[in-house]
Amino acid sequence: MPVMNLLESVRDALRTQMKADPRVVVLGEDIGKFGGVFRATSGLFDEFGADRVIDTPLAEAGIIGTAIGMALYGLRPVPEIQFSDFIFPAFDQIVNELAKFRYRSGGQYSCPVVIRTPVGGGIRGGAYHSQSPEALFCHTPGLKVVMPSNPYDTKGLLLAAMRQNDPVMFMEPKRIYRASRGEVPEGDYTVPLGVAKVVHPGTQCTVIAWSGMVSIAEEAAKLGAERGVSIEVIDLRTLVPFDIETVCASVEKTGRCVIVHEAPKTCGFGAELVASIQERVLASLEAPILRVAGMDTPFPYTLEHEYLPNPERVLGAVHKTLEW
C-alpha cells in the first residue's frame, strides 16, 4: 500500500473521482498548470485538460457562483478557495444560495458542490492566512462540514463528499499537508461522513479534536500515559453532521471531557459540543467540560505558537478535570 502525505491524498481523491465521473470539474485560482498554491491539483491539468481543470480570476464570489451554476446544470464542481481566510467574499453565495437550494426548491434540486479550502495556522502565515472559520459554516443549515486529520481519512472523506448530493465544506489542515503521512489504498474507497473515530483508547478523560488538532491531542495522550493518565482521543472528522453517539459513549465511560480546537474559543464549535454532551449525558460527568482553543484575538504572526493549542495545554486541562 503506498504511503502518501495529506496533500497527495487530496490529489489522489480528485484524480480517482475525475476518472470515475466525467461530470466532476475542479476550478479555482492558479489550480491549472501551476497546480495550486500548495500543489494540491498538480498534474490534473495535463491529465484532464482545461475544460475540467479551470483557472479562475481572483474572485471568490465568482468562483462559488460559477460552481453553483455548474451544479444546477448537472456537473459536480469541486472549487478550491486558496486559503479559507479568502472565503469571506463568497460567504453570501455559500450561505444564502448554495446552502438553501434543496430547501427553497422543496427538495426538487440538489446542489452538489464540494468546496475545498486549507485552514489553520502553523505556517507563519499571519492574520490573513491562518484562520479556522469552520464554526461560521457549521451554523449554516444546508451545509456539511468535513475536517480530516490524516491522509487515509482525507481521501476517503473527499471521495464520499464528492459522491453525495449536498454542498460540503471540505476544510484541510494546511499545517500538516506534508507532515502527516500514512498508508493510503490505491483506487476507490470511502470514509462515511458523520462518523467519528476513537484514535487513542483511554479510560479517565475523553479528548475530542479535529483537523490539525488531532495530532496534538494524540501527543497529549502519549504524555499522559507516561504520567499515569489514561486519555481517550476522538477524531470527530465530520463537524456537520457530527457523531454524537460515539462522543457520548466515550464520555459516559470516562466521566470527563476536554475539547480541543484551533479556532478562537468564544462561539467556536467546541461550545456546541459542550452543550450537546451535557444535554445527553450530564449525569455521567464528574467535572465540567473544558475547552483548549485559540485565543479571542486575530491570529498573531510572531506569537502563533503561543496562540495554538499544544500537548501541555491539553494535558493541563485534563489534569484540571481529574482534580475537580
- Residues serving a catalytic function are 129
CA–CA dist 33, 14 (Å, integer) = 16
| DSSP H or E segment with residue 199 | strand 197-200
Nearest 5 degrees, angle CA 254-CA 256-CA 259? 120
DSSP structure string for 59-98: -HHHHHHHHHHHHHTT-EEEEE-SSGGGGGGGHHIIIIIG
CA–CA dist 10, 204 (Å, integer) = 35
Answer for the pair 75, 23: CB distance below 8 angstroms, yes or no: yes
DSSP structure string for 211-275: TTHHHHHHHHHHHHHHTT--EEEEE--EEES--HHHHHHHHHHHS-EEEEEEEESTT-HHHHHHH
- Cell numbers 501541555 correspond to 312
Answer for the pair 257, 284: CB distance below 8 angstroms, yes or no: no
Three-state DSSP at 5 gives: strand
Nearest 5 degrees, angle CA 119-CA 153-CA 257? 75
- Cell numbers 492558479 correspond to 30
Give 320's Cβ-side CA count (13 Å radius).
Answer: 14
Q: Quickly count helices (H) and strands (E) in the chain.
A: 12, 14
Of the candidates 236, 233, 221, 238, the one whose C-alpha atom is nearest the C-alpha of residue 168 is: 238
